Structure 1
Amino acid sequence: MFKQELGFYLGNEKPDGFSGFVDENNLFLTVEIEAGITPDIGRELTFYIREKIRLLKIENLQQFDIFISNIIKEKNLPSGFSFSAGYLKGDIFYLKTINQGKIYIRRNNKLVLLIDSDKTASGFIKIDDVFVFTFSNFVRLLGGEEGLNNKFDHRPIPKIIDEITPELLTKDDHGTAALFLQLKKIDEEEKPIDNFFEVPKKLGSALNLKSYYIRFGQQKILTFITVFILGLILFWSVGIGVIRRKSENNQKKINLTKELISQKLSQAEEVSFLNMSSALSLIADSKDEANKIKKELGVKSYELSGIDKIISDSENKILKKEEKKYSEFFDLTVDDKNAKGDKIYLNDDNLLVSDKSRGVLYEFSLTKKSLDKDQSIEIKKSSLIALFEDKKYFYVEGAGVYQMVDGKAKKVIENDKEWGKIIDLVVFNGNIYLLDQGKNEIWKYMSAELGFGGKNSYFQPDQSFNLSSVNSFSIDGSVYIAGDSIMFKFTSGLQDAFKTNLPDDNIDVNKIFTTKDLEKVYGWDKKRGTIYIMGKNGNYQEQVNSKILSTASDFVVHKEIIYVIQGSKIYKIE
């Protein structure tokens, strides 16, 4: 049996294309698809391969060739895909490459290309052999085979990965991948002998010692009893030995799994700063390894191993995932015991808070903690609010947009029959923007001397977008839109670069928030109780988790402090 030391390199993720790897049940595979597939579908492909190899036992090179061919047919892979794969059976390696795939072996300090293009091969392995499953682009980025060979120089695989990662990340490494595998000798595990001894059959009735005494005499019955007792002792001793050896074997498996997971998590931490998608892939693989050992050994053995905590601690560190406490900042009941906040809106240092049930708009200074209010029956019907300088606005479905003037509600934008479903309101530079989910539009109303001009589409001509899954938008000069598993950025009415690499799938952003004074964009998933923090190009930076985020009704961010409203109270998360 050989101990497997693994290392992985994944280039930056492409929006149209995929690269990934599989390390499962002695299958080692890298895949590179240039175009025609999304990263999510690519991850489904590698998951499918993992599940499929778990159910199969490959006996020869022909079966391995058929296995790879069936995957290609079953998943209907697009043109431009490449595979580099191997299956280890005992001390024989079955190998296959497709298109740009390459497999190298380093033996006795020499690097040799075994196969490339569309080829298969098999051969015997030796202790300390190193195999590299990769593609032409990866080798080219390293300066050819000579450059790849120079990376070894008696280094262990983790050190090789450490050296090539910063070098390749400065180049166009999009969509490339490599898997390094070194085989080292370990002691053979003792085979369990659970089924060696048969369980003794129960006697039909209790032993009749008197009958035995009459038939065999006193001496023979004493001999029988002695043998019977010795048999019980032997059976008990063997049973304890079997249990002990099984426990030792389980511990060996746990230790090997821990070591493999530690390697993957260590690499994930190293690449996370420059390549979060690669780090997330390595974390997912670590969880797969943990689930395998859990199924094999059972929950109790798995829990004792501490593997779950190792992964959790590393994931929290990589994702900067932290459970943060919240504290009470202000209570609206200082004005009225029945006060209750529904929505909040930030402009400079001031918060606008709506209390629909009482028809009240509170203006609250974050710096002075002073409170002013306006009250109107129309506010009870409002669903959206906004604040700009000293002007307070609110939207009433079927009626239009109102402004509070001298303590009274004045309609400043009439209800428009061309509106669909207005779901959000923002005022920026004095202009009013309405997010129309029903008409897939953002309506812009320019501020004028006597109110507001007519509506115009924010989007440039010939631009069309499906906003049916959108929940919210925010403006800092550019427009950010977010909803169920989607985020977009627009500048001057045209879609702008905003590539998100969030650590979780199927994120439902209830509200997206930023301002011209903030350097970050905040996406709130209420169901998860999480706010994801990104740069203004979409790059994931960290996340904030807090119990209050699962129950709050709205949030804003001021000077990187998160303020949330829940009932009558405003809380802050620092």
Structure 2
Amino acid sequence: MYKPEVAFYLGEQKQQGFSGIVQKDNLFFILEVGTGMSEDQGHKTLDFVKEKIKKINNFDDFIASIITENNLPSDFSIASGFIKDNILYLKTVGTGKVFIRRKNKLGLLIEGNTTASGPVENNDFFIFTTDNFFEIVGGRQGLENTFDHRSPTEIIDEITPSLKAKNDQGAVALFVNLHQIVEDDQVSFRPSPDEIGMTKGRIKSIWFSMKSSKKTLTFITVFILFLVFLWSVILGVQRRTSKSANEKIKLAKELVSQKLSTAEEVAFLNMDRALILIRESKEEVEKLKKDVPLRSSSFEGQLEKLTIMITQVENKILKKEQKKYSEFFDLTVDDKDAKGDKMYLDGENSFILDKKRGIIYRLSLEKKSLTKNQFSEIKSGSLVAGYGDEGFFYAKGSGVFRINSEGKLGKIVDNSNSWGEIIDIATYNGNVYLLDRGTDEVWKYLSGEEKYGSASSYFASGQAIDFSQVNSLAIDGSLYLAGDSIIVKYTSGLRDGFRVDLPDDQPNFNKVFTSRDLEKIYLWDKIKGTVYVLGKTGEYIEQINSDILSKGTDVVVYKEGIYVLVGSKIYEIN
């Protein structure tokens, strides 16, 4: 059996092409596509390869199925190998090349559209690559110069600075050094059959000694000898186990370190690739846990260090920040039974709905001053908003009410048969906007003295979308809709060319928040306890994590602070 020590070089992705590698379950595979493949298509192809590994019967057919089932464009190259029963099966396509270094001699095994196979030996060193990498590394002489008893990781560390200074677009190479694992190095706490047999023999010997001897001293002596023998067997197995485990974690650490280093290098220009490398690093740690089922405290400590290292790089790349929070205000200063259900921010004023007690509080985030208005109609309210000093609330079956700056209550929008399910409310320039999931509409009502104008659709003709996943809106001049894993932007009723590329695969947005005073958009995911921060054109900036974000019932952002409503208290994340 052979243990591969692996490292790879991956240059910048070509604009219309893709390069990538797969190293899994004794498969070594590199793909380079010059034109005609997007990054998404490329990663799907690599995922396909990983799934197909389990079904390899004929290696040539395996590669052929990758080409045909993924409809690879004409401008592609493959270099691949697969070890089974100590035989290495090789296949190259296009400009693919496989080199071997054996006993300090470098040679080209195959290239072009070729198949080969042969037995491997201990310390064989293989390079899977294409003409592209071969040329920028300096050809055969360049490859020769990279060796000098270096490991794959050391080689990559050596060549990366010089290759990065060149045009390395599309360049890809996989370096594989095979190390033979003798049977004694296999990780197991079970003694060998011979040791088991010897142990059984000693047990029988003790048993017969007990039966035939009446001397207690003799029995004690034999029993002590047996314990010493048994202990020596256990110690021997543990020493071999420890040695093998240390070798495994050393190899894993080198591979993870290289993946994380590459992830940091490519993150700015290729976030998707960086995240894939981080995911693969996590998979290496999980694989290590499975390979070594019984572990010492020292080994567990090294595993923990690997996990921490991955987390630190991931947080750095994703700009994840774990933030502390502090109590900003407690509504019980007004009444010990106070409790906030919903919160809305306009300017510095936060409007907080206490449905049970029929109160809307207005809290100045600048002055920490609190005023309140209490009406029985508010007990039917489910949504709250504000504009200036005026508070608004929506009551199902009744309509929209306004509390003016003098504290007087009036209904400004009557309940409408045209409404479906009203799930959010917002104001802008004094106008009221209702998010209606039941009719896939945003209803706009122009401000008036006593009553607001009749309803009009915010959307231009044909611009509305399915609202089944939408649960929140925000307005800063443009209008944003968000919910589950979607966010869309409209300007003047027309859908904007707004594209968001978040690092997480399945966010679940509970609320979108922005305003004309803010330069950023904030997306709250309560389940993850995260607020994603975007630029106004959709670019990802950072994510903020805090325990309090998983407990809140509502969130707003004012200046540089995130304010979280939890029961009677408002907490601030700076």
Quickly name the TM-score band, shorter chain normalised.
Answer: 0.7 to 0.9
Q: Which residue identity is paired with 2:355?
A: K
For residue 242 of structure 2, what is the aligned residue in structure 1? 247
Q: Which residue identity is paired with 2:7?
A: E
Structure 1 unmatched runs, 5+: 214-221
Paired with 1:229 and 1:387, the residues of 2 have a C-alpha distance of: 84
Q: Which residue identity is paired with 2:293?
A: G
For residue 192 of structure 2, what is the aligned residue in structure 1? 194
For residue 7 of structure 1, what is the aligned residue in structure 2? 9
3-state SS in 1 of match to 2:269: coil
For residue 204 of structure 2, what is the aligned residue in structure 1? 203
Residues 268 and 420 of structure 1: is their aligned pair in 2 closer, same or farther, counting only changes over 3 Å?
A: same
TM-score, normalised relative to structure 2: 0.79
Paired with 2:105 and 2:222, the residues of 1 have a C-alpha distance of: 62
Alignment of 1:419-434 (within 5 A): 419-434=419-434
Deviations 1:193-230 (A, max 9, x none): 834544225539932589699xxxxxxxx9xx999998
Q: Which moved more, 1:185-194 or 1:331-340?
A: 185-194
For residue 457 of structure 1, what is the aligned residue in structure 2? 457
3-state SS in 1 of match to 2:78: strand
Alignment of 1:486-525 (within 5 A): 486-525=486-525
Give aligned-pair identity as a percent. 44
For residue 407 of structure 2, what is the aligned residue in structure 1? 407
Alignment of 1:342-357 (within 5 A): 342-357=341-356
3-state SS in 1 of match to 2:563: strand
Paired with 1:228 and 1:340, the residues of 2 have a C-alpha distance of: 73
Deviations 1:283-335 (A, max 9, x none): 11011111111111016355232322222232233323333221111111222
Q: Which residue identity is paired with 2:392?
A: Y
Paired with 2:109 and 2:454, the residues of 1 have a C-alpha distance of: 69
For residue 295 of structure 1, what is the aligned residue in structure 2? 290
For residue 386 of structure 1, what is the aligned residue in structure 2? 385
Q: Which moved more, 1:425-434 or 1:154-163?
A: 154-163
Paired with 1:161 and 1:457, the residues of 2 have a C-alpha distance of: 57
Paired with 1:375 and 1:247, the residues of 2 have a C-alpha distance of: 71
Kept after mapping to 1: 8 A contact 2:442/2:458: yes
Paired with 1:163 and 1:491, the residues of 2 have a C-alpha distance of: 48
Deviations 1:376-419 (A, max 9, x none): 22211111111122232111122222111342322222222222
What is the root-mean-square deviation in Å for CA atoms of aligned residues?
4.2
Residues 427 and 21 of structure 1: is their aligned pair in 2 closer, same or farther, counting only changes over 3 Å?
A: farther
Question: How far off its partner does 1:103 sit?
Answer: 4.8
For residue 316 of structure 1, what is the aligned residue in structure 2? 315
3-state SS in 2 of match to 1:461: coil
Structure 2 unmatched runs, 5+: 147-153, 186-190
For residue 80 of structure 2, what is the aligned residue in structure 1? 86
TM-score, normalised relative to structure 1: 0.79
Residues 486 and 146 of structure 1: is their aligned pair in 2 closer, same or farther, counting only changes over 3 Å?
A: same
For residue 181 of structure 1, what is the aligned residue in structure 2? 174
Question: How far off its partner does 1:345 sit?
Answer: 1.0
Kept after mapping to 1: 8 A contact 2:482/2:512: yes
Kept after mapping to 2: 8 A contact 1:7/1:263: no
- Of 248, 251, 256, the match for 1:261: 256
For residue 360 of structure 2, what is the aligned residue in structure 1? 361
Q: How many residues align?
A: 539
For residue 29 of structure 2, what is the aligned residue in structure 1? 29
Paired with 1:13 and 1:554, the residues of 2 have a C-alpha distance of: 42
Question: How far off its partner does 1:554 sit?
Answer: 0.5
Question: How far off its partner does 1:556 sit?
Answer: 0.6
Paired with 1:253 and 1:375, the residues of 2 have a C-alpha distance of: 68
Residues 32 and 371 of structure 1: is their aligned pair in 2 closer, same or farther, counting only changes over 3 Å?
A: farther
Q: Which moved more, 1:444-453 or 1:474-483?
A: 444-453
Paired with 2:159 and 2:432, the residues of 1 have a C-alpha distance of: 55
Paired with 2:437 and 2:14, the residues of 1 have a C-alpha distance of: 33
3-state SS in 1 of match to 2:447: strand
Paired with 2:14 and 2:554, the residues of 1 have a C-alpha distance of: 35
3-state SS in 1 of match to 2:336: coil
Q: Which residue identity is paired with 2:505?
A: D
